[in-house]
Structure 1
Amino acid sequence: MKNDVIIIGGSFAGLAAALQLGRAGRKVTVLDTGLPRNRFAGHSHGLLGHDHKPPLNILAEARQQLARYPAIKLVNARADSISGAIDDFSVLTGDGESLGARRLILSYGLADQMPNVPGFAESWGTSIVPCPYCDGFEVAGQHWGVVWSGPQTHQSVRLFRDWTDKLTVFADGHDLPPELEADLARRKISVVDGRIIEIAHRKGHITTVNLDADRNVAVDILFAHPRNKPSASLHESLGLATVDTPTGIILKVDDRRQTSMPGIYSAGDLSTPFLPSVTQASSQGAMAGIFAQQSMLA
């Protein structure tokens, strides 16, 4: 029997979509590889009812709750290719199985690309983080470092002042515009020149940010936005429209979370332009599921 919806990606967005569809009695299959973007984080913050829980534990509990819906099938498999069109999509899995569906939801998220800096990847998710709403409360009042990645970092620095007044900006080889450098000076925020060549740490907890000018700067936490890319390339083979962001591309969706191809929807980090979070992913996933269901009404 053909699925009503196949969801590709079973993290927060994908499972939230499945929940809405399953409660409507729609037949749905979720394909997931078990590698959510936030698996490096010890705790997830800001999700009502689940604040300060390990994200993998939240997802495990969600899967257990979905088990009571007979219309939902969770499959540990990769989607290798997609063909067809609205009402008649076909998804080929890594196991060689071909699945049919009337609608698709792409929620396979993004993969962060770690810079070639010793200690960065080892500290990612522990003391190098991207989002103050996710981790700021736990380190409020401490010394924050911020890696400059473009003019958007200026807005981040202004935002961070709600959590701490101890801020250091690492230029990391960038030439800051004079007007922005003057504004940072006015705010008494120091700017450190030089490229970051190493993150000295103890089991992922930063001790110093080491620069190529033989200078080491101690901070308690480092905020950075490394480049990222979609975790799969299915959107490329489909020719789906994308949007450029300062750190990579995301899928373009309309106000009903439909992509540029009719019948294909997207939710979560894969189509979120700024400050992605589990709260946003869950909300977007729920709406993608609802909109997909409504599009199939007779």
Structure 2
Amino acid sequence: MNSHDALIVGGSYAGLSAAIMLARARRRVLILDAGSPRNRFAAHSHGVLAQDGRAGSEILADARAQLAAYATVEFVDTTIRTATGRDGDFVLTDTRGHEFRGRKLLLATGVTDTLPDIPGVAERWGRTVLHCPYCHGYEIGGGPIGLLSSGPTAAQHAGLIADWGDVTLFTHGQPAPEDEHAPLLRRRKVAVETTAIAALEGDGDTLEHIRLQDGRRIVVRALFVALNNQPAGTLAAQLGCAFDPTPAGTIIRTDANKATGIAGVYATGDAALARTNITLAAADGVVAGVSLHHALIADEVVAG
């Protein structure tokens, strides 16, 4: 008999939200976490009800402490390397060769953010190089901001973030947006710069200006970038899960109950959501946890 009703890989907002649903149903839950939440590069989290401005690490620490009070919950800080088995008997193996068994499996592994290959971007990520204006735009405080073109949706994206500052859309050597977008850019007072970017410059992780390939410097306080995200790790692929393309990358395919196409395997959070932030990830985790609990009950009824 397996010692755990559910194995949860990933102990951030989605995974912990699923875990608390299962814990409150007195189910035996094992949370396996590598300790690398996606928002670890940001000093504060914003737009989270009743948690606005707190460090993400503090929010997660509180959640872990609350979950630890449930007798049926266990944590192991580790990185899972392989996933095998079938519905009712899954086996996870970590990088140290330890095995963990459970009846159901929930993947809450998050995503890998692929940053633009431009000097100065990586060291400013989560501080002055940003992705979500709702999470960080207010703190910029207005003034000149940039947007690195994200392809066909760049004009719409620029029009959106114009509520947070005076926007320059950098196409990074690509053509300017089609003429059909000109009225939107004009109404939203978006400037367009087509010269390729050489580097982001400023003291420390601040951003003072963007240096272009022709030597010009354009003053900006922050740069928004669109990312190409992929589910972190290879567990979903190992198990045979299907994937879906989105404008921001690839996600694990799930149904409305967060079940993948593989019996007994669920996926939640950023790895299985087209739109992502802390609140959405946590809500998605609740759906996954409740759905997984229902599946456990259904199995037990059939087994008699």
TM class by shorter chain equals over 0.9
2:295 maps to what in 1? 295
| 1:47-75 residue CA offsets vs partner (Å, 9 max, x unmatched) | 11211011111111111111100111111
2:174 maps to what in 1? 174
1:283 maps to what in 2? 283
- The one-letter code matched in structure 1 to 2:69 is R
8 A contact 1:123–1:201 mirrored in 2: no
8 A contact 1:89–1:102 mirrored in 2: yes
Q: What is the CA–CA distance in structure 1 between the aligned matches of 2:213 and 2:47, rounded to whole Å?
A: 37
Q: Secondary structure at the match of 2:103?
A: strand
- The one-letter code matched in structure 2 to 1:295 is A
Q: What is the CA–CA distance in structure 2 between the aligned matches of 1:195 and 1:270, rounded to whole Å?
A: 31
Map 1:191-230 to 2 at 5 A.
Answer: 191-230=192-231
- The one-letter code matched in structure 2 to 1:267 is T
Identity of aligned residues (%): 36
- The one-letter code matched in structure 1 to 2:34 is T
Q: Do residues 259 (structure 1) and 260 (structure 2) align?
A: yes
Gaps of 5+ in 1: none
- The one-letter code matched in structure 2 to 1:288 is A
Map 1:80-159 to 2 at 5 A.
Answer: 80-159=81-160
- The one-letter code matched in structure 1 to 2:105 is L
- The one-letter code matched in structure 1 to 2:75 is L
1:112 shift after superposition = 1.2
Q: What is the CA–CA distance in structure 2 between the aligned matches of 1:94 and 1:28, rounded to whole Å?
A: 21
Q: Secondary structure at the match of 2:186?
A: helix
The verdict on how the C-alpha distance between 1:120 and 1:72 changes in structure 2, with shifts beyond 3 A counting, is same
2:244 maps to what in 1? 243
1:256 shift after superposition = 0.6
The verdict on how the C-alpha distance between 1:23 and 1:262 changes in structure 2, with shifts beyond 3 A counting, is same
| 1:135-179 residue CA offsets vs partner (Å, 9 max, x unmatched) | 122224322211111122222222223333x11111112222232
| 1:78-109 residue CA offsets vs partner (Å, 9 max, x unmatched) | 11111121112111122212221111111110
1:272 maps to what in 2? 273
Q: What is the CA–CA distance in structure 1 between the aligned matches of 2:204 and 2:66, rounded to whole Å?
A: 34
Q: What is the CA–CA distance in structure 2 between the aligned matches of 1:30 and 1:68, rounded to whole Å?
A: 14
8 A contact 1:171–1:192 mirrored in 2: yes
Q: What is the CA–CA distance in structure 1 between the aligned matches of 2:239 and 2:173, rounded to whole Å?
A: 37
2:61 maps to what in 1? 60
1:23 maps to what in 2? 24
Aligned alpha-carbon RMSD (Å) = 1.5
1:181 shift after superposition = 4.0
Larger % of helix: which? Answer: 2
1:188 shift after superposition = 2.7
Q: What is the CA–CA distance in structure 1 between the aligned matches of 2:128 and 2:135, rounded to whole Å?
A: 12
1:2 shift after superposition = 2.5
Q: What is the CA–CA distance in structure 1 between the aligned matches of 2:289 and 2:159, rounded to whole Å?
A: 36
1:4 shift after superposition = 0.7
TM-score (norm 2): 0.93
Say how many residue pairs are matched: 296
Q: What is the CA–CA distance in structure 1 between the aligned matches of 2:63 and 2:162, rounded to whole Å?
A: 35
| 1:251-289 residue CA offsets vs partner (Å, 9 max, x unmatched) | 111111111212111111101112x10111111111111
Q: Secondary structure at the match of 2:290?
A: helix
1:182 shift after superposition = 5.1
Gaps of 5+ in 2: none
2:164 maps to what in 1? 163
Q: What is the CA–CA distance in structure 1 between the aligned matches of 2:187 and 2:283, rounded to whole Å?
A: 39
